[in-house]
């Protein structure tokens, strides 16, 4: 897929205040660690995650999404009535019904004529939302649209701890539940617009140029979850996830006419430090933030895996930290349970 007319107007994000170290989870699970001879510190050593964030108790994800949306609107300096589509793309929802997007829409006070919907595709939801809004802009259906996502893992992690202690598992079951404790909370929003709609307001704006998608859905059982539990075959998920990313990377470069040397920055969905490093090696784009030639911007160690928020919030934070230079060719790479992948190309 290719786009000629789509720009990124702005991004906004929110990082919750409550810091939860990996060591805290191990303290709660100490009886199980002792039973199976698992050393304290294993969670951080295996994942590279030192801490993650929680929202306040009873905080709704619509609140986080709306806060991020407000920040995106403020940065864009456009009237909220100009936003003609709102997509909520988070894994977490306030309710099964109504759509979380309608609650965010109300909180933001957007136009009653805006299209409003939820999009769900595990950790890929935000990138799916970007393609839907971009397609509508390219077709001339709207001039501007917003994608939001907020994830809240507090209750799910607490219930998992409670269940594991009440019904002590075997070691394999404990490992299958470990991925739950890699998750974090946060919110992000992005406004996309037609390149001619706000030509003089912010000077140069990043352009969304296109991308590629690929799905290997025969692996849909490797990571399954409900609101209060998650079961993951981390070993096989890493292997199959790398396969789909590698093949999608080839498709992406063919579609965009790019090669590895043309990629200046890359922001990816971050699950573990091992996954991040293997991913960079698989793509052949370097070793990350280890030299002056840094290409990615890892947030995993202090934010954890924030599901649909992970890749876009890394890009938003990196932009605020002036990590991205004007003219950079940027890749936004997502991979999600299913297993499937989206890679988008942006010219900053």
Q: What b/e string do you get for 84-100 counting C-beta neighbours within 10 Å, with b at 16 or more?
A: bbbbbbbbbbbeeeebb
Model confidence at 29: pLDDT above 90: yes
pLDDT tens, residue by residue, 250-283 = 999 999 999 999 999 999 999 989 889 998 998 9
Model confidence at 208: pLDDT above 80: yes
If DSSP codes are grouped into helix, strand and coil, which group holds residue 347?
strand
Q: What b/e string do you get for 138-175 counting C-beta neighbours within 10 Å, with b at 16 or more?
A: beeebbbbbbbbbbbbbbbbeebbeebeeeebeeeebb
| DSSP bridge pairs for 346 | 208, 330
Model confidence at 204: pLDDT above 80: no
Instruction: Report pTM.
Output: 0.94
pLDDT tens, residue by residue, 147-198 = 999 999 999 999 999 999 999 999 999 999 999 999 999 999 999 999 998 8
pLDDT tens, residue by residue, 100-141 = 999 999 999 999 999 999 999 999 999 999 999 999 999 999
In this prediction, residue 292 carries a pLDDT of 43
Q: What are the φ and ψ backbone dihedral angles of 116, each rounded to 5 degrees?
A: -135, 125
Please give the average per-residue pLDDT across 21-49, as a whole number. 95
Distances in whole angstroms, Cα of residue 305 to Cα of each of 78, 99, 287: 31, 24, 19
Model confidence at 70: pLDDT above 90: yes
**Annotated active-site positions, please?**
97, 123
pLDDT tens, residue by residue, 288-331 = 444 444 899 999 999 999 999 999 999 999 999 999 999 999 99
Q: What are the structural domain ranges in the chain?
A: 207-347
In this prediction, residue 111 carries a pLDDT of 97
Q: Where are the beta strands (DSSP E) in the chain?
A: 2-14, 18-21, 51-54, 85-88, 115-118, 144-151, 186-194, 207-215, 223-226, 229-232, 265-268, 329-336, 340-347
What is the pLDDT confidence band of residue 222, given thresholds at 50, 70 and 90? Answer: confident
**Cα separation, 127 vs 147, whole angstroms:** 9
In this prediction, residue 247 carries a pLDDT of 96
**Which architecture does CATH list for 207-347?**
3-Layer(aba) Sandwich (3.40)
In this prediction, residue 221 carries a pLDDT of 87
% of the chain beyond a pLDDT of 70: 96
In this prediction, residue 255 carries a pLDDT of 97
Please give the average per-residue pLDDT across 32-61, as a whole number. 95
């Amino acid at each position: 897929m290719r786009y000629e007319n789509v720009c990124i107007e702005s991004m906004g994000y929110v990082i919750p205040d409550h810091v939860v170290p990996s060591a805290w989870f191990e303290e709660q699970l100490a009886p199980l660690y002792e039973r199976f001879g698992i050393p304290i510190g294993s969670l951080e050593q295996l994942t590279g995650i030192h801490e993650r964030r929680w929202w306040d108790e009873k905080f709704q994800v619509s609140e986080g999404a709306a806060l991020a949306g407000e920040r995106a609107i403020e940065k864009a300096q456009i009237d909220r009535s100009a936003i003609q589509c709102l997509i909520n793309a988070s894994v977490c929802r306030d309710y099964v019904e109504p759509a979380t997007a309608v609650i965010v829409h109300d909180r933001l006070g957007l136009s009653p004529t805006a299209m409003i919907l939820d999009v769900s595709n595990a950790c890929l939801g935000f990138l799916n939302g970007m393609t839907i809004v971009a397609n509508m802009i390219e077709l001339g259906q709207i001039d501007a649209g917003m994608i939001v996502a907020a994830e809240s893992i507090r209750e799910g992690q607490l219930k998992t701890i409670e269940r594991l202690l009440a019904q002590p598992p075997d070691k394999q079951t404990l490992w299958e539940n470990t991925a739950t404790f890699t998750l974090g909370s946060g919110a992000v929003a992005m406004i996309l617009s037609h390149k001619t709609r706000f030509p003089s307001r912010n000077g140069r704006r990043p352009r969304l140029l296109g991308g590629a998608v690929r799905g290997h859905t025969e692996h849909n059982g490797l990571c399954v979850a409900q609101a209060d539990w998650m079961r993951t075959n981390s070993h096989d998920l890493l292997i199959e996830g790398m396969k789909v990313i590698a093949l999608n990377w080839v498709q992406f470069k063919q579609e965009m006419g790019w090669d590895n040397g043309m990629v200046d920055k890359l922001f990816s969905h971050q699950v573990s430090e091992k996954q991040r490093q293997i991913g960079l090696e698989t793509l052949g784009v370097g070793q990350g933030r280890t030299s002056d030639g840094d290409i990615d911007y890892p947030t995993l160690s202090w934010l954890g895996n924030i599901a649909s928020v992970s890749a876009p919030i890394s890009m938003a934070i990196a932009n605020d930290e002036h990590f991205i230079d004007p003219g950079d060719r940027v890749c936004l790479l997502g991979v999600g349970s299913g297993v499937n992948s989206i890679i988008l190309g942006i010219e900053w």
